[in-house]
Structures are given as structure tokens and as C-alpha cells.
Structure 1
Amino acid sequence: MAVSKKRIWGWMSFDWASQPFYTLGLTFIFGPYFAVVATEYFMGTGLDEVTADARAQSVWSAGQTVAGLIIAFTAPFLGAFADNSGRRVPWIAFFSVIYVVAATMLWGLTPDASGLFLFLIIFYIGFIAAESALNFINAILPSLGNDQEVGRISGSGAAFGYWGGVTALFVMLLFFVEDAETGVTLIGLPPALGLDPSMMEGTRSVGPFIAVWYVIFIIPFFLYVRDDPNTVAKSTKLSAVAGDLWNTLKAVAKRKSLLNFLLGSMFYRDALNAMYTFGGVYAALVLDWQTIQIGVFGIIAAIAAAVTTWIGGLCDQRFGPKPVIRVAVWVLIAVSVIIVGMSREQLFGVPLAEGSMVPDIIFYVCGMCIGGAGGAIYASSRSMMVRHTHPDRPAEAFGLFALSGKATAFLAPASITVFTLLTGSVQLGFLPVIFLFLLGLLLLRWVNKDGDRAEWSATSQPLSQP
């Protein structure tokens, strides 16, 4: 059955609306700002700068760890409940409200670090809401086309989202985010709306900006995307939902391709999320970049992500998602090696001249690779999940996908925390990321490039049946 273009564009509008939380919040503006404020806070307790940097990174990673675990163990159950009720849009609306409120409250993190840990919690509440809504968005994807079309739609939607992130980042850098030393924005103007640069109000406005952006651009989704009114609802009693979910989990062990994909993606997506989360923090703590410089880096990375993700979607449509994922993971492994081996003073043990721009240039290139490869992985991984998804249980299936992406969400941040504390080095703290990428690649060897849908769809068995 042909799918309305309005429905497809409405579905893709979620990526455009929500991407600034990741681009501006998690990676390039709020995350680095939090790291700088946290470092100043820990130095105020008597720690030296290097130790304070490491402590700031470990606190940020601890927040991601806890949030990831919450997402992991709620997503499958919420997905099963939504499938049984036949309704997903109300859940997206519910989490959207939490997202908007949490993002707005980020304004309150002042440079004196007042309420530092409270705002860490608030940020990750917003993160949990964004990720939870995304699971239900992904569950709608299988209804938008066949396997080949889904690969292109997924890639186009993700690319559209990255363009949203680029646009939002441009606006913030040009008119709001101030240089900590000069108090002016990228174009030499004071922050808009009379915001006080001495209190970093331009940078702090990133939270309300993310909230307003979402409220405006999510409108097409709620206008054009509806739950199927013909869906036959099943029991939503907790016992019935839990029973269906338990049957699904038992059946996964019997499906070799799905099991290895869930496990493999669990490791490589965990590593990728760590790169997103700590990329800006690394730039701030290791390369001493200011927020504006990190923002420019973010624009370059997001543009690369938008272009490469769109190209990846076309490659996915032609060759399938598996080759796209493998190439992208290898690119990210190379970037991880560079991150571990580079600092402001040296590159793989080779000393650099004082004030050398080599680390800056290399990290800009790394940013392009992270953005491009990460976007391709995101789009093609959900395309691959569609190939393992029964049309009657998409939210439950993508709940499992979220579980696989978050069940070990503590692994990369916790490993980074441990390695950073043990070595006292932000760079060496990235070593576990390389191992996670390699483990994910290994498990992909046993994933059927076409998924396992054909093996059981002919019998019309739901996902929870063997």
C-alpha cells in the first residue's frame, strides 16, 4: 500500500526537531560547558587542573551510564505495552513534554556551578525522554515502505535531522554563544536578546533554544502521523504485556542473525555514543578549545553527517545495511586510535611545536569522520532492525533494539571513567572504545545481510514465537 508523502515527511520531522538536543546539548555546547563548569568546581575543592578535568569527565560519564541503564530496562516493556495497545503517538507526546521541560531548565546552570549535580540529572532526564520517544518513532519506520525503501527513508530522515542540527548550531553560534574571554559571538556581536555574557547567558540559553526548536518543528509529526485505527488491541494488563515480552526474549536466543545483530550493535553503538558524548569534552579538556571553536567543529561534523548519512541511505538501498555499518565502524576505529594518540603537545609520541595547529586540523577531520560514520551507522542500524522485525510487533522489536543499545550503556562510560581515573589521562580513557568497536565488528560476521524476516514471515508468526 502506498504511503502518503506527508506521513513520511511528518515522520522525518522528528529527526529535525530532536537533533539539536544531541548536537547542541550532548556534544557541542551544553556538554563542553558543563565540563568546564565542573572542572572549575573540582579545582575549587583543591584538585589540580589535570585531576579536575578527569573528574569532570567521569561525572559526565556517570550520568550517561545511569540514563542508559534506565532506557535499557524500560524500552522493551514500553514497546510491548504500546504494541498491545496499538498506540504509539500518545507515548511520543508524553515524552515530548518531559523533553521540553528538562531542556528549558538547563538555563539554570550558572558559571559558579550552583546546583551542578542537579542540572546533570535534569539533562539526562531530557536525554531519557528523547531516547524513549525515538524508540516509538523507529517503531513507525517499518510501516513507511519495503526493506529497500526503508533504508533510503531511514538515511534521508537521519540526514534531514543532521541538517536541523547544523542549522540550530549556526543560529546559536552566530547570535547566542559567547566567547568566554571576549564576551562576543562568532560574528563579533554580544549575545542576542540582551543576554549577559559575564554570566554565560548566551551559552546557557541553549536549553530553552532546544525546547523552543522542538515545539515548533515537531508540529508536522503530530499533524500527519497517526496510529493505525484498524490495529486490533490486545490486553494491556501488566501480566499480559510481561508475558508477551518474556516470550519475545526467549525467542531471540533461537534466532542467530537477530541475536548477533543485537549483541554486535550493542557494542558498536555503545562505543559510538561515547564518542558523541565525550567528543566535545575531549576538545575542551585536551585541546583547550573554547565553546565557539567546539561549535564550529560541530557544524563541520554535522554537515559531514548530513551528506554522508544521505549517501549511506542510498548505499543501503542498493547494497543493504550491513556493508554500510561495517565500513562506518572501521572509520570510527581509526578516529578512536587518533584520539588516544594525540594531545596538544604530541602526536603518537612525536613532540609538536608549541602553538602547533596540527592537533586542531586533525581533530576537525576526525569530527567529519565521526559525524559521517556515526550518521550512517544510526540510519543503517535501524534499517537492519526493520529486516528483523515482525510488522505486528514493531515497538516491541525496537524496544529490544533500544535494550541492546543501552543494556551495556554503562560499559563505555564506566570503562572510560575507570581508565581515565587510573591513568589520569583523558586520551587514554578512550582506549575501551576501540575494543568495543572491534567486538561489534566481530559479531556482525554472523548477521544475515537480509535479516531473518523471510524465515518466519511466511508462517505469519509474531516476533515472540520461535
Structure 2
Amino acid sequence: MAEKTPSQARADRRGVVSWALWDWGSSAFHAIILTFVFSVYLTKAVAPDPDSGSAALGVGLTIAGVFIALLAPVTGQRGDAGGRRKRWLAVHTGIVVAAMAALFFVRNTPAYLTLGVVLISAASVFAEFAQVNYNALLLRVSTPRTIGKVSGFGWGMGYFGGLVALTVVLFAFVQPKVGLFGVTSQDGLNIRVVALFCALWFGLFALPVLFFVPEPPASAGASRAGFFASYGVLARRVAGMWRSERRTVWFLIASAVYRDGLAAIFTFGGVVAAGTFGFSSSEVVIFAIGANLTAGLGAVFGGRLDDRLGPKTIIAGSLAALVVLGGCLVVLPGKATFWVCGLALAAFVGPAQSASRTFLARIVAPEREGEAFGLYATTGRAVSFLGPLAFSGFLALFGTQRAGMAGIVLVLVAGLLALLPVRAPEGAK
């Protein structure tokens, strides 16, 4: 990573906080719309039955994943060439906000299922595009000495923002018979209003990054190609990376594997807690809150260690700890085991995610951040079947959820082994 001028390298607290607030705001979509509240409403209250609703949502998100894999690198590359990453961040964020607001019109009857699936799927596509441009701004608000701390702070803000937004939503709209502003559950109004709240939440907290974070310069010597011609530019860049930046290619591959294992931990954690360790529904919710808190704290603390020890050390150490803790969950019984090991697992997920972002930011060619993080998104999507396949496959083979957890552990082991040969960024251990 090229050294910055003194003025560029000066830590700007306002810029850092403004950048991290975008993560705080975007968590409303990921935690509330996509995971805990609106997707549940869509599959249980809008769809004719949960199975058909889940199937429809699964198809929609699968199609969205294909669009992300095909388009993310090109959107990032075009942002680099034009020097308009903030403009595209604003456009993509605005589309996500508009899609969430439009979810207000999804009433709790099957006729609105398609509308709900299309809006959520579209929002997930543009949220990923926005994330590409957001990640590319990391180098604008950090220095080589602070990049780990800043990335960890941003990732932690995402976890904490999701918890605050979720708490507000639960107590203001979801749980009360008569919620804030007299909202009730008739026609699904309480959940539809939640969509408006999430749109407002994300829109407001996305504004500071647009005003207080400097726009990165365009790629030196880059010419603006047409959309389809951009794929040719991208192909030549990837070929060039293979010849002269092979470390970047290997890191993208390795991180795609272990990042899918990290995602699987949160995806199937609640399922294992209820099915194997006997957690009630309320206990699962309480555990989820605790897991997000520990993951956020872990991300912040791990980010500080990142600047001292280097991102590879943090990633490898976190993955090794996750393998050991996951192994304990495979063989040890009792709720206490899941509480201790499960919360510890969450504490190591955050640092691994944050350090992955800084690893790539440290090795990417100057002014190619958008393209690199676009490829980061694409490689992640390309192997996003690994975690679910390992869990379901081992469960089918051995008939227990513990075996499914063992499958996820093996994915983490594979990612760790793929990472070890990758040379650490210069100036980091």
C-alpha cells in the first residue's frame, strides 16, 4: 500500500466516525429486514405457508447472489476509473433505502409475496454494491498505522448498530399490542412500519460519509470504458494480477473459503442451539444478542491488535480458535458448553472479518480498491454454498446437528490451510 502524504495520513476522527456510521446504518437492513424481522414476516404472514414462503425467498436471494457475483467487480472497477466511489455509494445506498421503504406496501396476504421477495432481493444486490464502494473508502479514513483499528471500529459499529435498531424495533413496534404512534398488527402494519423505520435509519446514518469523507482519486491513466467493455478491462486486470499480484488472487480464494465458514456459524448457530442444546425461543434470542455484542467487541479489540500484529496473524489466530471452539461444541454436552463456546466463537468471528478487509486493503494496488473489493464480493459469492453444504451434508450422512457443526469446522480448517501460504502484507507480521 502506497504511503500517503502527511495531510492524507493525518487521522481524521470526524472522517472515521462518519465512515463507520454507514456500517451502523446498514445493519438495519441486514439484521432487521434480511434476518430477524421482515423476512420472517414475509415467509410466515405474507406467504400461503412458511415452506413456500421460504422457497420463494430462497430463489430470490439466489438470483440476487448471481447478479452480485457477475456485477460487483465491474461496478467497483468503473468506480475506480471514474473517481466517483462516493457518488456510487450514494446511488446504491439510496436504492436500498427506497426498496426498504417500498416494503411498507407489502401487506400480509399471499398476493404481495412476489413484491416482497423482489424488493428484498433487489435491496440485497445494491447493499452489496454499496458495500464494495464503502470498503474502498477505508484507505481514505485510515493510515497504514491505524487501518486495523479503523476497520475493526467500523465492523463493531455494524454489530452494535444492529442491536440498537433491533431493540428499538422490538419494543416500539413488534412486541406491544399497540406500538409507537398507535401502530397495531392489523394488516401487518407493525412490521410494515418497521420497514419505514429501517429506511429512515439507514438513510440518516449514511449521510455523514457522503459529506465528511474525501473522494478517492480516479485510477491513474484509466479511461472510462463502456459497461460491457468493462468486462474486458476486468479480465485483463485479473490476468495481470495473476502474473504480478498473485498473492492477491490467493488471498481472495482463501478468504472466500473461510468467510463462508464464518457466515455459517451465525446462520446455523441458533438452529444448533435449539435442536441440539435444548434452547427455548427466548433463550435463542438472548443468545443472539449476546453473540452480536461479543462479536462487536471482538472486532474493535481485534482491530487494535491488527495494527500491532498484522492482519494475517489476527485471521490465522481467530480461525485456529474457532476450530478449537467449534470442535468443543461437536463433542461436549450441556447448555453451559454452548453459552461459553458459542459466545467465544462470536468473539473471534468479528476480528477475522475485520482483518480480512484490512489484509486486502493493505495489498491492493493504489487506486484499485473498488475493483479489488468487487472481486472480494464475487469470490465470496462463488463459494457461498460451502458452509450450508458442509452442514447439511454431514447432518445427512451422520444424522446429527453435531456432525453438521463438524462440517463447518472443516470449512474453517480448509480456509486456514489455504491462508497460511499467503504472504503477509509488507510492514505487517
Does TM-score exceed 0.5, indicating one fold? yes
TM range (shorter): 0.7 to 0.9
* Match status 1:223 vs 2:220: no
1:94-133 superposed matches below 5 A: 94-107=91-104, 114-133=111-130
1:41-190 superposed matches below 5 A: 41-42=49-50, 61-107=58-104, 114-178=111-175, 184=176, 190=178
1:203-218 superposed matches below 5 A: 203-218=191-206
Partner of 1:461: none
CA-CA distance at 1:366 after TM superposition: 5.6
Q: Indicate how the Cα distance of structure 1 residues 338 and 35 shifts in structure 2: closer, same or farther if over 3 A, else same.
A: farther
CA contact (8 A) 1:35 1:56 kept: yes
> What TM-score does the superposition give when structure 1 sets the normalisation length?
0.77
CA contact (8 A) 2:390 2:411 kept: no
CA-CA distance at 1:137 after TM superposition: 0.9
CA-CA distance at 1:66 after TM superposition: 3.1
* Match status 1:26 vs 2:34: yes
CA-CA distance at 1:241 after TM superposition: 3.2
* Match status 1:272 vs 2:272: no
Alignment partner of 1:307 out of 297, 302, 312: 297
CA-CA distance at 1:134 after TM superposition: 0.8
Code of the residue aligned with 1:303 in structure 2: it is: L
Q: Which moved more, 1:227-236 or 1:96-105?
A: 227-236
CA contact (8 A) 2:99 2:120 kept: yes
CA contact (8 A) 1:159 1:306 kept: yes
Partner of 2:3: none
CA contact (8 A) 2:255 2:356 kept: yes
Deviation track 1:80-124 (CA, whole Å, cap 9, x = no partner) reads: 111111111111111112211222234455555554354233222
Distance 1:210 1:100 in 2: 8
* 3-state SS in 2 of match to 1:409: coil
Deviation track 1:403-433 (CA, whole Å, cap 9, x = no partner) reads: 2222222444466677778889877666643
* 3-state SS in 2 of match to 1:449: coil
Q: Indicate how the Cα distance of structure 1 residues 56 and 444 shifts in structure 2: closer, same or farther if over 3 A, else same.
A: farther
1:285-434 superposed matches below 5 A: 290=281, 294-333=284-323, 359=335, 363-365=338-340, 368-413=343-388, 432-434=407-409
Code of the residue aligned with 2:254 in structure 1: it is: G
Distance 1:61 1:227 in 2: 37
Partner of 1:16: 24
CA-CA distance at 1:167 after TM superposition: 1.3
Distance 1:113 1:284 in 2: 29
Q: Indicate how the Cα distance of structure 1 residues 10 and 315 shifts in structure 2: closer, same or farther if over 3 A, else same.
A: same
CA-CA distance at 1:306 after TM superposition: 2.0
Distance 2:88 2:272 in 1: 35
* Match status 1:246 vs 2:243: no
CA-CA distance at 1:223 after TM superposition: 1.3
* 3-state SS in 2 of match to 1:446: coil
Q: Is there any run of 5+ residues in structure 2 with no aligned partner, and where?
A: 1-5
Partner of 1:456: none
Q: Is there any run of 5+ residues in structure 1 with no aligned partner, and where?
A: 43-51, 179-183, 342-346, 351-357, 454-466
Code of the residue aligned with 2:349 in structure 1: it is: G
* 3-state SS in 1 of match to 2:363: coil
Q: Indicate how the Cα distance of structure 1 residues 153 and 320 shifts in structure 2: closer, same or farther if over 3 A, else same.
A: same
Q: Indicate how the Cα distance of structure 1 residues 410 and 311 shifts in structure 2: closer, same or farther if over 3 A, else same.
A: same
Distance 2:247 2:216 in 1: 29
Distance 1:107 1:364 in 2: 37
* 3-state SS in 1 of match to 2:215: coil
Structure number with the higher helix fraction is: 2
* 3-state SS in 2 of match to 1:145: coil
Distance 2:105 2:390 in 1: 30
Deviation track 1:128-170 (CA, whole Å, cap 9, x = no partner) reads: 2111101111111123333331111111111122221221122
**Superposition RMSD on alpha carbons, in Å?**
3.5
> Percent identity of the aligned residues?
29
CA contact (8 A) 2:47 2:109 kept: no
Distance 1:332 1:431 in 2: 12
Deviation track 1:238-275 (CA, whole Å, cap 9, x = no partner) reads: 36633431222113334443232111111111222233
